[in-house]
Amino acid sequence: MASFHMITTLLFLLTIMLGASNAQLSATFYAKTCPNVSTIVSNVLQQAQGNDIWIFPKIVRLHFHDCFVHGCDASLLLNGTDGEKTATPNLSTEGYEVIDDIKTALEKACPRVVSCADVLALAAQISVSLGGGPKWQVPLGRRDSLTAHREGTGSIPTGHESLANIATLFKSVGLDSTDLVALSGVHTFGRARCAAFMDRLNNFNNITGKTDPTLNATYANTLKQRCPKGGDTKSLVDLDEQSSLTFDNKYFSNLQNRRGLLQTDQELFSTNGAETVAIVNRFASSQSQFFSSFAKAMIKMGNLNPLTGTTGEIRLDCKKVN
């Protein structure tokens, strides 16, 4: 029987799915009102990358965490103790100051035109392409939420859930297994805290001393050295041990070799009979197929319940409502 948390989460996500069908977004939305929007976003991101080599995956993660809570409406960016930023799933999110820098630059160039929700969507796409990944035309025209949705942060998938649970969450908003595997592939770059996977090393399934059997033994020993029992749970480990600063398809070969860092990553390949196994194999053998599917999945995710028309507002400061 589904847990109360799971039922509540599905209700939030079903609301998102129903709203998505009403979206009217367009890649040319700012063609006349802010024609240089993409260039401005790209310039700020490239400057930020000079100060933080990990900024690209951080920005993509912000977009994902925003969209999975009542849709892509920049509600994540609002400050306040009752907001989404301080909810448990978002305590490790970073990159907010760069989004603020992008918004400041856009306000100088095109005042009161570009929403914070669109900044997130554009910044995510440009971060992926600057990191070596695919390019795609981002549908634009989102507006910003007037409130945060802290109660909805339970809809953000964690690194500890079963494949069945996460697949259900994704399907509830119209994202299929190919979308799930493709979007998981964002873990081809970036890092994760030890806290996100330490249970796989010493306490798998709440059994003291047990290591997740789907984890390559040599890799598990390396991780135990990086994240020792009783050590700093905030220490960071590369999600892709081969090329964590580059957006490529090596993440999928890692899964084939049982070297997926997060449990939810490895289960895509190690769950017997799962339809995701064949998709992992396909993406591992063809980076172009992964890139194409990732771009399509990002467009679908970016279309989750956006505010359009006269709903919401165009925030002047992404951290607060006007």
Alpha-carbon distance of 287 to 189, in angstroms, equals 14
Is 280 annotated in some ligand binding site?
no
157 is in an annotated binding site: yes
Q: Provide the CA 189 distance to its chain's centre, in angstroms.
A: 11
Per DSSP, the three-state class of 41 is helix
Is 238 annotated for ligand binding?
Answer: no
> Among the residues of 131-244, which ranges form H helices?
163-172, 177-184, 199-202, 217-226
> Is there a binding annotation on residue 160?
no
Q: Return phi, psi of residue 236, to 5°.
A: -110, 140
Rounded Cα distance, 132 and 112, in Å: 32
Q: Tell whether residue 82 is among the known ligand binding residues.
A: no
Strand partners, 4: none
3 state DSSP class of 63 = helix
Q: Is 84 annotated as a binding residue?
A: yes
Question: In whole angstroms, what is the distance from residue 176 CA to residue 193 CA?
Answer: 28
Q: How far apart are CA 81 and CA 214, in angstroms?
A: 39
Is 160 a residue of the active site? no
Confirm whether residue 275 is marked as ligand binding: no
H helices present in the chain, as ranges = 4-20, 37-51, 55-67, 96-109, 116-130, 163-172, 177-184, 199-202, 217-226, 250-256, 263-270, 276-285, 287-302
User: Position of tokens 């090329």?
Assistant: 243
Out of 65, 70, 149, 160, which one is annotated catalytic? 65
Residue 204 DSSP symbol = G
Q: Which amino acid is at 165?
A: N
- Residue 209 in tokens: 């001393």
317 is an annotated ligand-binding site residue: no
248 annotated ligand binder: yes
- Whether residue 158 contacts residue 264, with contact meaning beta carbons closer than 8 Å, is answered with yes
Q: Which of 110, 93, 84 is nearest to 12 (CA)?
A: 84
Residue 153 assigned as binding residue: no
Residue numbers belonging to the annotated binding site for heme b:
187
Which residues sit in the known binding site for Ca(2+)?
Answer: 66, 69, 71, 73, 75, 84, 188, 240, 248
Binding-site residues for substrate sit at 157
Binding residue ranges: 66, 69, 71, 73, 75, 84, 157, 187-188, 240, 248
Catalytic residues: 65
